[in-house]
Chains A and B, each alone.
Chain A
C-alpha cells in the first residue's frame, strides 16, 4: 500500500515524503500506516527499492498564521477554492537505512531516490528479508542512526525499532534486549540525572 511520494531531501539519506491526501490515492492511508518507526520502501524506476524508517512527522498548513478576516467562510472554500485546501499536507521524514533489489543491503545506499518516487509500507516478509541480508539477522544500520545524535528523536526511534524487531524475530530477543536496555538507559535515565 502506497502512503505517499518523495517531495524533498535534505541529505543523501534524509527524505521528505508527502502523505497522500483525499483524491491522490485509491486508498487514503490511515495515520497508523505512516506511524513513527515504520519501515517503508521508496520505489525506484529500475525496480530497486530504498528502505527507510519514518523518523519524524510534520504538518503543512498555509493558513497557519493568517489571522485576518476572509472573504469566504471556511466551509465555502471547498466550493470556491478547492485547490487551496489541497495545499494542506502531512509530511514524514524518512531516513534511508538500506536497499532491496536482488539482495538486501543495509547502510547507506549508493543511489538516491527521485522526486515523486512512491513510498509504501514494507510487508512483514520484506522486513524479514531486509534484516537477514546473508541469511543471518543483522542491524548494521544502527551505527548510521546513532551517529545522528543531534536529533532528539533518534533514541526513541531506536527503542521503537528494537522493540518491533524483538516481536518479529523472537530468536533474537536476548540480543535485542541488550541493545534495548542500553538504549533505554541512555535515553530515559541518564538525561533525567
Chain B
C-alpha cells in the first residue's frame, strides 16, 4: 500500500456538502468502493488529515463502443492502431464522503469545507485506520475483534467493536440466509467470552446451532490468568416456565380463539388468583378461580365439574390442554436466573422442538424476569441471596428475532423487547437481535439497535426496511448490500467510529449451522459399504425363497 503518496487530485465539491470529487488514474486499482482516503489541511491553525470514504467511482475515459465490436480484438489494439500508444488510458472521477479528522474526544469532526481543487488525495495507511476507525484495540477491555477492513488485505486493519456500545444500546445482525449471520454471532460471542470481556451472555437458540460454542471451554485461546469461560447448554427438556410468571396476556396468547365470555372469565380468574396468591399461584389455583365463574362461588377442588357453566368447563379444558400437556409449564420450577446469567458464562437456551407459541412465551417470561431482576438489583430491592438477583449486566442474543418482534403483529414478546430496547441501558440489560428477514421485523425494534451489522441482503423489501430503520449507514454503503459476499459485513453505529465494511474473522470454535450437503448424502447410499450393508441385512437363509430388496414389492407380494 502506498503511504503518503498522492493517488489522485481533487476536482471539486460533490453533489452534497459533505462530498468531494477527485480524479485518479488508479492503475493499480487501489481506490475501491468503501476505501478510506484523506487529504491534508489546516483547521483552526492545526494541521489535520481529513478522512473520507470512497462512495462512487465513474470512468472518465471509455473506449468508444465501436472499438468493442469484436471480442477477440482488445480495444487497446484498435487505439494503438490509430496511433494512441499512451498508457494508461483509464481515468476515474471518484466521489468521497467526508468523515472529517479524528478527535479522540469528539470522534470524527467534519471541517464543513470541501478541499480546494488540486488538493492531493492519499490512501489512508493501515496504521492510521486502525487508530481511527475503532474505539478500542484488540485485547482491550470491551474490545470485540470481529475481523478486518474489507478493502485491505486480511488482518491489515483489524476491526474491533466497542462492547460498551452494543451492551448498552443493543445490537442487530441482519442478513439473508447463508450470508454468515450465525457465524458472525458466533465470533461476537467468542469475543464476549474472551478473558478481556468475561461477559454474562444468554443466547436464545431456536435451531440448536450454538452448542458448538462449548468448544470454548478448555480452548487455549480463551483462558488467561486462571479464567476459563463456561458454556452452559440448556436443552428443551430442561426449560421450564413457572406458571406464576405468566401474565394475563401470556395466557391469552397461549389460548387463541377464546370467546368473549371465555376472555372475560379468564381475566376475572387471573385477577383473583393474583390478588389471593400473589406470585405463588399455580395451575390448580387458577383452575379453581376459573371454576368459581363470574359469581365467585366457593370451589376447592380444581377437578370438580359438577353442574358448571359450559363456558367454564371449556375454558378449564383449554387451560389444562395448554398448561398441563406441555412439559414447559410447571407449578414450581423456573429457569434460575442466577445460574443462567453469570459473568464468564455463555448460556445457550435451545428452543428447538418447542412449539412457536411456547417459544415466544419462554422468551417473553425470561426477558421480563431478567429486566425486572436487573431493575430490582440496581434499585437495591433484592439481595444476593434472592432467586432473581442479577448483580451484573446481561446480554441476551436472540436468533430469528423476527419471530419475537414481527412487523405487523403484536406478540407477547414485542412489548418486553421494546421496553428493554428503550430502558435496558439504565439497568444493564441489552439484546442482540439476529434476523434474516428485517422486512418482517418491527421497525421500531430494529431502529433502536444502535449497533448494526448488516450482511448481504437481496430482497428489496428487506433492503427498504434496513434503509428506513438504520440511520447511521449511508446510502452509498446500503447500495453495497447486494454486492457483499458471504462473511462480509457492514458495521455501523455506536460500537464503531464510522460505518465500515468488514471481512469477518475465522471462528475459533466450530460453526454449528453448516448446510447439509444433500447430493453427497444421497451418493453415500450407493457407496460400496452401504450396498454391502444392505445386501447383508437383506440376506435370507440359503433354503428360503429369494426375497426382493424392494420394500414395496415385499409389502404387496
Residues in A lying within 8 Å of B, measured CB to CB: 177, 180-181, 184-185, 188-190, 192-193
Contact = CB atoms under 8 A, between A and B. Distances in A.
A190 to B, nearest CB: 7
Q: Which of A177, A184, A193 has most B Cβ within 10 Å?
A: A193
A190 B83 contact: no
Q: Which of B64, B67, B79, B86 has most A Cβ within 10 Å?
A: B86
Looking at chain B, what size class is its interface with the partner chain? 10 to 19
Contacts of B89: 181, 185, 189
A180 B89 CA distance: 11
B65 A193 contact: yes
B49 to A, nearest CB: 26
30 contacts: A177-B86, A180-B86, A181-B86, A181-B89, A184-B83, A184-B84, A184-B85, A184-B86, A185-B61, A185-B84, A185-B86, A185-B89, A188-B79, A188-B83, A188-B84, A189-B63, A189-B64, A189-B79, A189-B82, A189-B84, A189-B89, A190-B64, A192-B64, A192-B67, A192-B78, A192-B82, A193-B63, A193-B64, A193-B65, A193-B66
Given A189-B82, A193-B67, 13 more contacts: A180-B86, A184-B85, A184-B86, A185-B84, A185-B86, A188-B79, A188-B82, A188-B84, A189-B67, A189-B89, A190-B64, A192-B64, A192-B82
Contacts of A181: 86, 89
Interface string B403-421: 0000000000000000000
Dominant secondary structure at the A interface:
helix
Nearest to B68: A193
B73 to A, nearest CB: 14
A184 B83 CA distance: 8
A7 to B, nearest CB: 34
Contacts of B64: 189-190, 192-193
Contacts of A192: 64, 66-67, 78, 82
Contacts of B65: 193
Contacts of A189: 63-64, 67, 79, 82, 84, 89
Interface string B68-111: 00000000001100111110010000000000000000000000
Contacts of B61: 185
Q: Which of B61, B65, B66, B78 has most A Cβ within 10 Å?
A: B61
A180 B63 CA distance: 17
Nearest to B64: A193
Contacts of B83: 184, 188
Nearest to B83: A188
Contacts of B67: 189, 192-193
Contacts of A185: 61, 84, 86, 89
A190 B86 CA distance: 14
Nearest to B75: A189
Nearest to A190: B64
Contacts of A184: 83-86
A101 to B, nearest CB: 33
B168 to A, nearest CB: 53
A192 to B, nearest CB: 5
Nearest to B85: A184
A3 B67 CA distance: 44
A180 B64 CA distance: 19
A192 B67 CA distance: 9
Contacts of A188: 79, 82-84
